[in-house]
Amino acid sequence: MTFEQWMRSVLDRVEGALEQYLPAESIEPARLHEAMRYAVLGGGKRVRPLLCHAAGELTGAKAECLDAASAALEMIHVYSLVHDDMPCMDDDDLRRGKPTVHVQYDEATALLVGDALQSQAFVALTSDVLEPAKQAALVRELALASGSIGMAGGQAIDLASVGHTLTRPQLETMHRLKTGALLRAAVRMGALTGDTPDASALQALDAYSAAVGLAFQVVDDILDVTTDSATLGKTAGKDAKDGKPTYVSIIGLDASRALAAQLRSDAHAALAPFGARAQRLAELADLVVNRVS
């Protein structure tokens, strides 16, 4: 199977799983369920589900178990996007090429969409397809990665940093929490869904995730200044306008490109112990660095 064919088959499975694990629009409160589905379905690159499936293939995880974990990861990710776009945070009106949830619906609905997606993620993760011991391990991974010592904590640092000069280590800490923690969880959750990996395998996967997570952010900063809103599906040039520190603002465009290429090599190097079995993870590292949106 080529990488494109593999990606297509995973993306189809993940779309089906999201459809399955989200409450139907016909269930009351219908408007909230409609808004949750508006936010989640039919958009986004699905990077976290792809990482989860690729890591799960390393440990022989069953595809339907990876679907549940992937749906949970994507719901947490989308909750964070919906809240991040609200006027009290980034105040954005375009996401995944569509009006943001608070624009399409209203602010209170956007708040509830995020809240409900967060809860629904844990409903998906505790579905019967996963053994109870796996459920507990995965719930812990996702809760830690999305809470105050993960994504929400990173967002707090981000909000506090507006208009301030951050050093490069401070910028890295912010991104390690804000975006890196959930990407790392995607890889760990995929691996933990199959035969439990040993400590050295998890360490290698964490090193891979650290490089991919940072590369993801560096490329995001590059695209923010080099690509238009229509291609990105979100407002381009917003970081600079909002006075947010970015890799491009701290080290410049050329050095940011060189850093992304270095992180891609670091990600590949971290996968060495797995040999050819890690081919999909290696290809995903390339995708993250070479993406255009």
Binding mask 194-233 for ligand GRG (x = CB under 6 A): --------------------------x-------------
Q: Is 124 in the site for ligand GRG (CB under 6 A)?
A: no
Give the angle 107-74-280 at the CA atoms, nearest 5°: 150
The residue from 96, 98, 257, 268 that contacts ligand GRG (CB under 6 A) is 96
Residue 94 parent element (H or E): strand 94-95
Task: Pinpoint the alpha helices (H) of 59-167.
Answer: 63-84, 101-104, 107-125, 132-146, 151-161
The torsion defined by the Cα of 50, 52, 57 and 61, in degrees rounded to 10, comes to -140
Q: Is 179 in the site for ligand GRG (CB under 6 A)?
A: yes
Q: Which residue is nearest to ligand GRG (CB)?
A: 44
Count of CB atoms within 10 A of residue 1's CB? 9
- Is the CB of 80 or the CB of 135 nearer to ligand GRG? 80
SS3 state at 254: helix
Residue 271 near residue 204 (C-beta atoms within 8 A): yes
- Is the CB of 47 or the CB of 66 nearer to ligand GRG? 47
Q: To the nearest whole angstrom, how small is the minimum distance from the Cβ of residue 33 to ligand GRG?
A: 20
**Count, residues near ligand GRG per rule CB under 6 A:** 15
Q: Is 47 in the site for ligand GRG (CB under 6 A)?
A: yes
Q: To the nearest whole angstrom, how small is the minimum distance from the Cβ of residue 188 to ligand GRG?
A: 17
Q: Is 57 in the site for ligand GRG (CB under 6 A)?
A: no
Burial class (CB in 10 A: 0-12, 13-18, 19+), 93: middle
Structure tokens at 245: 């520190």
Q: Is 244 in the site for ligand GRG (CB under 6 A)?
A: no
Contact positions vs ligand GRG (CB under 6 A): 44-45, 47, 77, 80-81, 83-84, 96, 151-152, 155, 178-179, 220
